[in-house]
Amino acid sequence: MSEEVYRQLARHLDDLPGGFPSSESGVELRILKRLFSPEQAVLAVSLTIIPEEARTIAERSGLDIEETAKRLEVMARNGLIFSIEEGGRPALYQAASYIFGIWEFQLNNLNKEFARDMDEYAPTLGVELSRFPQLRTIPVGRSIPASAEVLPHEGAGEMVQERKKILVAPCICRRKTKTQGAGCDKPEETCLIFDQWAEYYHRNGLGRIIEKAEALEILKKADEAGLVLQPSNSKEPGWICCCCSCCCGSLKRLKAHPKSASIVVNSLICRVDPEICEGCQICIDRCPTDAHGIVDDRVVHLPERCIGCGLCATTCPSGAATMIRKPEGQQPGIPQTVFDNQIKLAQVRGKAGL
């Protein structure tokens, strides 16, 4: 019976916008058994992406209201579902997708076995995640020339200034690889989480609340460390990830694609003026997707691989590398909120999660 419970939960998670596809090895079931008790798995399938009170979920699941509320609270604290708690009102609970949800909420529960299971599952997940990105790429602030008009949702500094609450959390990708005895020397405490997401992270002990000045300093250090800024694919972001191409699953997928530019969501891209390029090759070392290379002893820019992160432009001593706005017809349509992004993703996948 318990095996079927987890299969039902797997199907339920796959019906959510983020997806949870089955693998040939069945590793996804092993992951669910690691995270959910059978009782929690049964209750989880009664949640949707719409925030609801415990009594509503209890009615749908056929369970006692008091017992349902207790289970939901434990599940929210364990990072298995998302909760909203505001101003003494009854808590609201909603299903969390596995990626940009349950997995990221397991910051404090990583071990070598869990990390190994994720490595095994990552190729299966990657196919689904590429259909409609939950992340987009924005250039680091100082890479953008004054002549390039930047909209509020295109600049990390502007995003930070507009948020009411900010939390910084460790990068789960770099923490996972360190758990496995590998990884890089990039700073770990770099993920900026905002507003309701920040409240949830704070309740669960996944990070610390910070002021805007510190958040801006983290963005500065991210540039210095060569980290790519990837906010949620929405104009009102729930987070900004600061990613490295050696540990981040999203960047690994972009780097592996022969035409990275075709699958990334961005508004600005790099342009290189070969006439003033000094051939220092700093851009080659900084680029996370190999969009700069050497041809006939000259540095060349490969626009089909450019994701618009701006890391080359911030350290180009001659100013040959600059960021420009993509043509109007190539500008992406950015959903307003994280929830709007989830609805769009559900439409693309033909799923509802409602």
What tokens does 68 get? 């349902």
User: How far is it, in rounded angstroms, from Cα 44 to Cα 61?
Assistant: 9
C-alpha distances (whole Å) from 229 to each of 143, 267, 296, 342 are: 12, 13, 32, 20
Please give the pLDDT value at position 298.
78
What's the pLDDT at 127?
64
Residues of the chain with CATH 1.10.10.10: 2-123
Q: Are strands 298-301 and 268-272 parallel, antiparallel or unpaired?
A: unpaired
Cβ–Cβ under 8 Å, residues 306 and 205: no
pLDDT for 224:
92
Q: If DSSP codes are grouped into helix, strand and coil, which group holds residue 27?
A: helix
Return the closest-CA partner of residue 131 out of 44, 233, 238, 215. 233
Beta strands 189-194 and 166-170, pairing class: antiparallel
User: Which tokens is 290 given?
Assistant: 């190999």
Does 2-123 carry CATH code 3.40.225.10?
no
CA dist list (Å): 284 to 183, 271, 287, 302 = 21, 14, 6, 11
Beta-carbon-side half-sphere exposure of residue 350 (alpha carbons within 13 Å): 1
Q: Which residues pair with 166 in a beta bridge?
A: 194, 210
State the CB neighbour count (10 A cutoff) for residue 84: 16
Residues of the chain with CATH 3.30.70.20: 258-330
3-state secondary structure of 83: strand
**Gap between the Cα atoms of 107 and 103, Å rounded:** 8
Q: What is the pLDDT of residue 146?
A: 54
CATH topology of domain 258-330: Alpha-Beta Plaits (3.30.70)
Q: What is the rounded end-to-end Cα distance, in angstroms, of the chain?
A: 26
pLDDT tens for the 354 residues of the chain, in order: 579 999 999 999 999 988 999 999 999 999 999 999 999 999 999 999 999 999 999 999 999 999 999 999 999 999 999 999 987 889 999 999 999 999 999 999 999 999 999 999 998 887 656 566 788 888 876 666 555 555 666 788 889 999 999 999 999 999 999 999 998 999 999 999 999 999 999 999 999 999 999 999 999 999 999 999 999 999 999 999 999 999 998 889 889 889 998 888 888 889 999 888 988 999 999 999 999 988 877 788 999 999 999 999 999 999 999 998 888 888 888 899 998 888 888 887 766 555
Q: Residue 193: which of 222, 164, 235 has the closest Cα?
A: 164
